[in-house]
Chains A and B, each alone.
Chain A
Amino acid sequence: MLNGTRRFGALAIAAAIVVGACSSAATATPATPAPTPGATDTAVAAAPTPTPAPTINCQTGSITTAGSTALQPLIQDAATAYAAACPGATVTVNGGGSGTGLTQVAAGSVNIGASDVLAATKLQAADAAKLVDHVVCRQGWIVVTNPDVTGVTNLTTAQNVAIWTGADTNWNQVGGPDLPIVLIFRPASSGTRATFLKLVLGGAKEATGGQTLTEDSNGAVTTAVTKTKGAVSVIGFSYYNDPANKALLNGLQLDGVDATIANVGASTYKLSADGNLYTNGTASGLTQAFLDFMMGPQVQGTIIPKDSYGPVAAQ
């Protein structure tokens, strides 16, 4: 009987450890009902009826990308379109975060690493020097609140600083209802948070404490904002413009400028940055062909506007 209990005990420990490990691995998938592009490992197979366009350089083989979840929707759609045009080419798109993308491309485990931030800010100088940056799009982020924050349609940079540093703690201090402000951050290591900290907060020290929450992904942030009274956060345009999310969120202007791709392109909306795809050394073969495709008319002219990014190549 004793043995029985102990054996059970050992099994239960093993189970506990295994479950712990599985849960950690599974967190990359945002918990959201919307069909957001959070899935992290989607192989794109060649479509059965290809319609090759003359301008596309078709290569065969398979390449892998990893990195920024903010850029993942775009790369995923571009990969699908490329595979449809070029049978025999497979582009596997992974998420994982900007840091993962940079590390893996520097280590040679993926062909392309996607990042919201420049490699030099994350990697050692020697590693960063090996990487070649390809800016394929502009991307923007929008400050969103729970819809119960009525009457607030615009926040100035100064108001944002007051809110996010904890100087203002109630929406009535910025013209809203009498409702405590709840700040929903991305993790300190996130590219989105780093960009917002640099471009809007000017590096000011962000608030900590009971009124702050941290959520993992764009999907988790969206859920938390819709579930929490008085919540405010920052998400990528591609997530905000998803119809399933847009109805549940109150998107704000920044310094009186609408958060639109047109204003990102015109450089009047300041919460925006380049979308960087990094290769380890000079790209060749399918990797180069895919990067060319990303700069080509189909991606720059059609897919980028559809997914709410800004084009970088003149059409």
Chain B
Amino acid sequence: MAQLTNALEATGLRAKPGLMERIDLPRRVVFLAAASMIAIVALLLAFIFWQGIQLFVKDGQPIGAIFDSTWNPLADTPEFGILPFILGTLVVTAGALLISTPLSVGVALFLSEVAPNWAKSVVQPALEIFVGIPSVVWGWLGITVLVPWLSDTFPNKIAISMPLVGQVFSMPGFLTGFSWLAGSLVLSIMVLPTITSVSYDAFRAVPQELRTGSLALGTTRWQTIRHLLIPSALSGVLTAVVLGMTRAAGEALAVQMVIGNSPTLPAAITQPVTTLTSQITLDMGNTVFGEPWQDALWTMSLVLLIISVSSVVLVRLINKRRIGQ
């Protein structure tokens, strides 16, 4: 207490703030940084929105036409149905999350609940290395290893038959390894560190008292994880999955290298598909600014932007719900 009193006295004796302190340069600098970031985001949103609506405003395409499944910009009356790209992005992303989420949440639980220190000191750097590997390397691995392996291993029709019911499921084999599945597998590795680190934070945020209390009641570690940790960290894990989704939907290069880029509706996980990002990168260099074709690419960018803005909003809603609890 004595120390505290002394400290207060010292504050009272403080000299009048000098000129530099009154100008408070550091505060102004960081304020400027924040303001310029907001300005950049606002400009970006405005620009993409403006370019994205040109297809309807300038080129007179009805808004509903983009949800058509025919993409034929070369026809005499060009058709700009971008449904194959939207669905392709959604299904490839969904596939990646289905593979990646259990794995990532498992790794996060291992790191936060189970791992001894030496194991943490191995797994965490490994995850950081994962983050640092450029997407072109994943794509390159995909095209040289995964794609040939898929087509060599599963060339024939894949069917599941059940007794009595008969065949319940069948799909064509891999004609080429370039496929929805290859894209999802490559993406699942790329989003793994994102989902892992965000859900790890969520598990660490559960107060230690709850764990010790639960264990004191005689539960096993698995029961604690299942009935206490996962429910309390659920919103954090959902946030992690949504962030992983944003990352996956925005990835272009690695996906483009392995999915085959066939502008048709996704039919089976063994078939080539296409995504918004890969179609934009394929066509942007060869179309000219202001032609309807390029306007359609801008509309596709707008759709991507809407997907990522919605996921940011979703993350906010999930977190708000957690505050409400």
Contacts from A to B (Cβ < 8 Å):
1-2, 4-6, 8-9, 12-13, 15-17, 19-20, 23-24, 26-28, 31, 95-100, 102-103, 107, 122-124, 180, 182, 187-191, 197, 208-216, 220, 223-224, 227-229, 231
Contacts and interface: CB of A to CB of B under 8 A. Distances in A.
Contacts of B262: 208-210, 212-214
A9 B261 contact: no
B197 interface: yes
B281 A5 contact: no
B147 A17 contact: no
B285 A31 contact: no
Contact of B252 (A27, A99, A122, A191): A27
A188 B172 CA distance: 26
B74 interface: yes
Contacts of B257: 31, 220
Residue from the set A95, A189, A224 with the largest chain B CB neighbour count within 10 Å = A189
B236 interface: yes
Nearest to B273: A210
Given A24-B277, A31-B257, A227-B148, A97 B194 contact: no
Contacts, number: 174
Nearest to A6: B319
Interface in B255-274: 256-257, 260-264, 267, 271-272, 274
Interface of B: 73-74, 135-136, 139-140, 143-144, 147-148, 151, 172, 175-178, 194, 197-198, 201-202, 204-205, 236, 239, 243, 246-247, 250-254, 256-257, 260-264, 267, 271-272, 274, 277, 280-291, 293-294, 308, 311-312, 315, 319, 322-323
A5 B135 contact: no
Given A2-B322, A23-B277, A214-B261, 18 more contacts: A13-B243, A19-B250, A20-B277, A23-B135, A24-B252, A27-B281, A28-B285, A31-B143, A123-B288, A180-B175, A188-B74, A197-B74, A208-B262, A209-B264, A213-B272, A220-B257, A224-B178, A228-B178
Contact of A99 (B175, B254, B287, B311): B287
A197 to B, nearest CB: 8
A222 to B, nearest CB: 12
B142 to A, nearest CB: 10
A102 B287 CA distance: 9
Q: Which of B252, B311, B319 has the most CB of A within 10 A?
A: B252
A123 B286 CA distance: 12
A229 B155 CA distance: 11
Contacts of A97: 284-286
Given A4-B205, A5-B202, A213-B178, A19 B288 contact: no
A8 B204 CA distance: 13
Contact of B176 (A26, A103, A223, A231): A231
Given A122-B291, A214-B274, A220-B257, A100 B285 contact: yes
B243 A16 contact: yes
Contact of A4 (B140, B194, B201): B201
B323 A2 contact: yes
B291 A9 contact: no
A191 B256 CA distance: 20
A20 B194 CA distance: 14
A26 B198 contact: no
6 contacts: A2-B319, A24-B253, A197-B74, A209-B264, A210-B272, A227-B143
Contacts of A2: 205, 319, 322-323
